[in-house]
Amino acid sequence: MKKETKKVPLIYPLPIALIGVENAGDIYYTTVSNVSIMAEHPPMVGVMVETTRVIRKHLEIGSRISVNFPSTVMIDKADLCAFVSNDEFDKSTLFETEYSLKTPYISECPVVLILEITDHMAMHRQHFYTCAVKRTLIDDHLSVEENIPSMNILDPIIYGLDGKYYQIGKVIGKASLEGKQLYQNVRKKLGPQPYTFHFKHRICKMKDEGWTYKDLSDKYNVYHETIEDWYALYSLFGKEGLSKKMANRLAGTRFTKEEKRHMAEKIITGEKTYRELCQEHMVSLSRLKNWVKKARRNKL
């Protein structure tokens, strides 16, 4: 059961940021929480600023701005910049400012994005800015894994939409790993599930691009042999080899023990390749391999 609450865009966690811009030699900083990722590739960010904000007058298409993410030790400064206007107090005196691409940014913030405003839309009392990421700067002492520092080291200030600031807790798992066991169990319970044509096709195309069977198997949790089977069919018959029609055809082909032994012998003696036999007899690679294995142990 759910109950309906106040209509708020309850998307969380929401990091607190300070946007910075320079105009006619003056620097303006303002606290915002309405900053979001619009796309990773190309890197795009959306920023929402209310019409009444002083900083708004200095934002236009082509302007460069910084989005500075303070850590929790900066909570007092970040909060001050959220209720005092640049009209009343020069907020730039609170920070040490540095420049990148001629754009002012706050040097004590561990992560800074330098953005260029590419588009702008006015809506109600808000202005929405689409921005291209020009630079992503992180403190040089931060240890990074795959270019991204740990969220716990960054220690961002999180806004809860309930008027309170929060702190990030602990690492609780790794992406694409935590659900792996569950996925395996669920698949086991469901029994053999046909993989979709598009999925098989994507994997075969990745194999063409140079992915190894092992990497594909680890990434998608599909047996190595199954992928080999798909790829063999794909190499022989193109996309058609991955179709349902082909799968039914392969499943429907029955062989006597004698025929299986005969095919296995052709492989063992080198008379035929797996590829040739797959094509000639419409048999899957994994079945052929199985027969060869059994024949080698005299169990076929």
- Closer to ligand FMN by Cβ: residue 48 or 138: 48
CB count within 10 Å of CB 220 equals 14
Place of tokens 């961002």: 156
Please give the residues from 215 up to 244 whose contact with ligand FMN meets the rule CB under 6 A. none
The one among 20, 21, 27, 32 contacting ligand FMN by CB under 6 A: 32
Q: Which amino acid is at 89?
A: F
Establish if 92 lies at the interface with ligand FMN (CB under 6 A).
no
Nearest distance from C-beta of residue 54 to ligand FMN, angstroms:
4
Chain residue at closest Cβ approach to ligand FMN: 34
Please give the residues from 110 up to 169 whose contact with ligand FMN meets the rule CB under 6 A. 159
CA dihedral of residues 209, 211, 216, 217 (deg, nearest 10) = 140
CB count within 10 Å of CB 222 equals 18
Helix (H, G, I), strand (E, B) or coil at 140: coil
As to burial, measured by CB atoms within 10 angstroms (0-12 exposed, 13-18 middle, 19+ buried), residue 34 is middle
Establish if 265 lies at the interface with ligand FMN (CB under 6 A).
no
Best CA proximity match to 58, nearest among 125, 134, 109, 129: 129
| Contacting range for ligand FMN; rule: CB under 6 A; set: 24-32, 134-142, 256-264, 268-276 | 24-32
Establish if 82 lies at the interface with ligand FMN (CB under 6 A).
yes
| Site string (45-74) toward ligand FMN, x via CB under 6 A | ---xxx--xxx-------------------
Establish if 34 lies at the interface with ligand FMN (CB under 6 A).
yes
Q: Which residues fall within 8 angstroms of residue 232, CB to CB, at 6 or more apart?
A: 274, 275, 278, 284, 285
Site size for ligand FMN (CB under 6 A): 17
Nearest distance from C-beta of residue 113 to ligand FMN, angstroms:
15
Establish if 290 lies at the interface with ligand FMN (CB under 6 A).
no
- Closer to ligand FMN by Cβ: residue 65 or 295: 65
Bridge-partner residues for 45, per DSSP? 37, 131
CA angle 251–256–260, rounded 5-degree value: 80
What is the distance between the alpha carbons of residues 142 and 149, in angstroms, rounded to a whole number? Answer: 6
Which stretches within 2-86 are classed as H helix? 75-83
- Closer to ligand FMN by Cβ: residue 51 or 253: 51
- Closer to ligand FMN by Cβ: residue 82 or 282: 82
The one among 36, 72, 85, 100 contacting ligand FMN by CB under 6 A: 85
User: What is the contact surface with ligand FMN in residues (CB under 6 A)?
Assistant: 30-34, 48-50, 53-55, 82-86, 159
